[in-house]
Amino acid sequence: MYLRYREQSWETDAQPSSHRVSDGSRLSARRPDRFGIRVGNPMPSIELRGVKLHAITELQAIAHILDELDNKHGGVVVTPNLDHLRRYVADVNFRAMIAEADLVVADGMPLVWASKLQRTPLPERVAGSNLISSLSGSAAGRGRSVYLLGGSGDTAKLASDELMRRYPTLRVAGWYSPPMGFERDSHQMATIIASLSAAKPDIVYVALGSPKQEQLIARLLPILPDAWWLGVGNSFSFLCGDVKRAPLWMQHGGLEWVHRLYQEPRRLFKRYITSGIPFGLSLMARSTGKGLVNTIAPKLRRAKPMMLPSPEVPIPVPLAPARSPLGLSPALEAQITRAWPLSANDESERTDDAPPVGRLRAMVLLGGSVRANALSAATGRSVLDLPLDEDGSILNFWLAQAAETAKIANIDRLPVRVMVNQNSPEPRSADARYAGAYRVERDLSEYRGTGGLLRDISSGYADDDLILVVNAAQILLDPLSRVVSTLIRKAGDVAVISHEDGTPSGIMLVSCKTLRMIPERGFIDMKEQALPLIASKFEVRVVNLRRPTGLPVRSLEGYVQALHYYHRRRSGKPAVTDLLAEDWTPSFSLVEPGATVDASARIHDSVVLAGASVEPGAVLVRSVVCPGTIIRRDRTAVDQLITIDRGSRKVKRAVGSRQ
């Protein structure tokens, strides 16, 4: 699973997360890097009934979204109200969707009141029904486009007309109001995907009500990973005048729900009266109690003398902060061009009590998800089924690496458990010689998190057994056996690879006894939640390497670059020749069986998948051609992911524009 993790915590031991707000006012990019970790300093935030809310104003939220767009970073905005908070407490799946959002701001005065009662005041309410207008106005000034998805009847069109009336320079890339039950209709979903792919908006407003709009955003996110997605509830009806908003004095006084209940009593009675009022009273009581604790606790801490930790108690080892741009940075390029040998910071290695390598019981290969992997979504196959070399797919590569690792561990074989989530395509490209060496398994829960998944897996192993956890969407630059040997020498209960530039490798060696500490229920991500918990009792060791052990495969650019470095290294060539000169020497050309490529066509650092056709004289440069597409005679495609439009059966280009 490639679930996006929440930002690194800004709290210290002296500042419990329940009652301190960071005093930093400058928002920072929290874009997840290609390994799934947030980068940059986190935004100021508070916690309310387990929900992490960003303590920012509406203007700050707008500035953050537009600045991220300028940096080619997309994201998801969630604006929880009291009903969302109630659902968050009761529904683990909804809880995970909120946790994965990039920006979470309070839409509801009860949440603002509760934050003040617990002495962690939010600066103001940031309502989604206000954001759709104010953000659109600011987007118009930056030349950004918006798309309106949802609503009933023609409300999306009428709302788009109203936005253009208010902001004449605003670019409305499109609108669509799907019929009831569209999420179960493959034709309707294909229509939505085709419309969004053609429009390529910068901002997408989804007005379907919660949790349907959050579920749809999760499904569509890979189509436009660089756009910002906002669930805006009933805002289209507000904009076009079908439903009147409460007067400002009611909005500011927290009485907007009364106005809504008066307009739609039959639909909203249960939400506001039967469920909302009891939960709201409970929230206020909890917040009041927490506020008292937060007022008294600092005084008690000041009165209590500081105690140094005992030398026998293992101190948690923090992971290095992640930093990775969308493509390979100049620093990463420079590191890769250095000598290839693996080199770790061995100052803390303790080989005398290193765990026996023979205790290695399995490799857990996290097979990815369509939601988090745009390349997988575009090709319609698992990232593990993408071709790598003459031996076939990335899956075959990992299975071969597992076989070599078993040899150094002196065990008959290292079973590979390929984990995919419930909505991902199942990898099918394994060679016959690996029959019985692996099995594909689906997550038991859609939103369990990597930590929760590993906790569930650990029940089948003894406490002292070791499992190797690997993110599948990468191509290794070093043999897995060498990486495992390095991890073994660290002698920790958990050993994690980290690079000097701060990027994690997606490879860790874990003793199963440590995973017993992870809760049996709920969403638990490994890096942000499980590792700090494990480190409180067991020894977590970090292996700092001076260069990456692998390159991620989650986009066209990442896939082609990873293939480039992989094949150049195999042929003994330097990673980069002259950074100031163009390199016209192909490093690879991969044509799957079942693809048709004319002998006169030129394939330069490109991949042609089965079912695709390349006609005479065509030229492909750093591109991937998907099944069903035809590159016509004498045409050129550069830096393109070429797919078929399932609705019109026309070729479309997901990346680039030259053909």
Q: What tens digit of pLDDT does each residue of 392-416 get? A: 899 999 999 999 988 888 888 888 9
DSSP character string of 327-387: S--HHHHHHHTS--S--B--TT--GGGPPPGGGEEEEEEE---TTT-HHHHHHTS-GGGSE
pLDDT at 309 over 80: no
Burial class (CB in 10 A: 0-12, 13-18, 19+), 270: exposed
Query: pLDDT digits over 475-507, tens only?
Result: 888 888 888 888 888 778 999 887 655 555 689
* Spatial separation of the C-alpha atoms in residues 350 and 489, rounded to whole Å: 7
Q: In the Cβ-directed half-sphere of 89, how many Cα atoms lie within 13 Å?
A: 14
**Which two structure tokens, joined as six digits, stand for 617?**
């004289």
| 180 C-beta neighbours (distance < 10 Å), count | 8
**Which two structure tokens, joined as six digits, stand for 490?**
């660290």
pLDDT at 240 over 90: no
* Spatial separation of the C-alpha atoms in residues 422 and 324, rounded to whole Å: 28
Q: With contact defined as beta carbons under 8 Å apart, do 235 and 128 qualify? A: yes
pLDDT of residue 365: 92
pLDDT of residue 574: 60
Place of tokens 């956890």: 469
* Spatial separation of the C-alpha atoms in residues 215 and 221, rounded to whole Å: 10
- The pLDDT-based confidence of 30 (bands split at 50, 70, 90) is very low
* Spatial separation of the C-alpha atoms in residues 36 and 398, rounded to whole Å: 20
Place of tokens 């079912």: 611
What are the beta bridge partners of residue 150?
A: 207
Model pTM?
0.49
| 228 C-beta neighbours (distance < 10 Å), count | 26
- Pairing type for strands 602-604 and 619-621 reads parallel
Q: Cα dist. 152→184, 417, 444 in Å?
A: 17, 45, 35
User: What's the gap between Cα 623 and its chain centre?
Assistant: 24
C-alpha dihedral over 149, 150, 153, 158, to 10 degrees?
Answer: -50
Q: With contact defined as beta carbons under 8 Å apart, do 509 and 409 qualify? A: no
Provide the 3-class DSSP secondary structure of residue 514. helix
pLDDT of residue 255: 63
pLDDT at 619 over 80: yes
Q: Which of 165-174, 300-309, 605-614, 632-641 has the weakest average pLDDT? A: 300-309
Provide the 3-class DSSP secondary structure of residue 625. strand
Q: In the Cβ-directed half-sphere of 428, how many Cα atoms lie within 13 Å?
A: 5
Phi-psi region of 368 (alpha: psi -120 to 50; beta: other; left: phi over 0): left
Place of tokens 């509406």: 58
pLDDT of residue 624: 92
* Spatial separation of the C-alpha atoms in residues 24 and 355, rounded to whole Å: 43
pLDDT of residue 389: 87
Query: pLDDT digits over 354-388, tens only?
Result: 556 678 889 999 876 544 566 777 788 888 999 99
pLDDT of residue 57: 92
pLDDT of residue 645: 57
Query: pLDDT digits over 243-281, tens only?
Result: 666 566 666 666 676 656 666 677 666 666 676 677 778
Phi-psi region of 524 (alpha: psi -120 to 50; beta: other; left: phi over 0): beta
Query: pLDDT digits over 168-219, tens only?
Result: 999 999 999 999 888 888 889 999 999 999 999 999 999 998 888 888 988 8
Q: Cα dist. 650→197, 335, 634 in Å?
A: 13, 42, 19
pLDDT at 1 over 90: no
Burial class (CB in 10 A: 0-12, 13-18, 19+), 582: exposed
- List Cβ neighbours of 15 (8 Å cut-off, separation of 6 or more): none
* Spatial separation of the C-alpha atoms in residues 512 and 494, rounded to whole Å: 9
* Spatial separation of the C-alpha atoms in residues 232 and 251, rounded to whole Å: 16
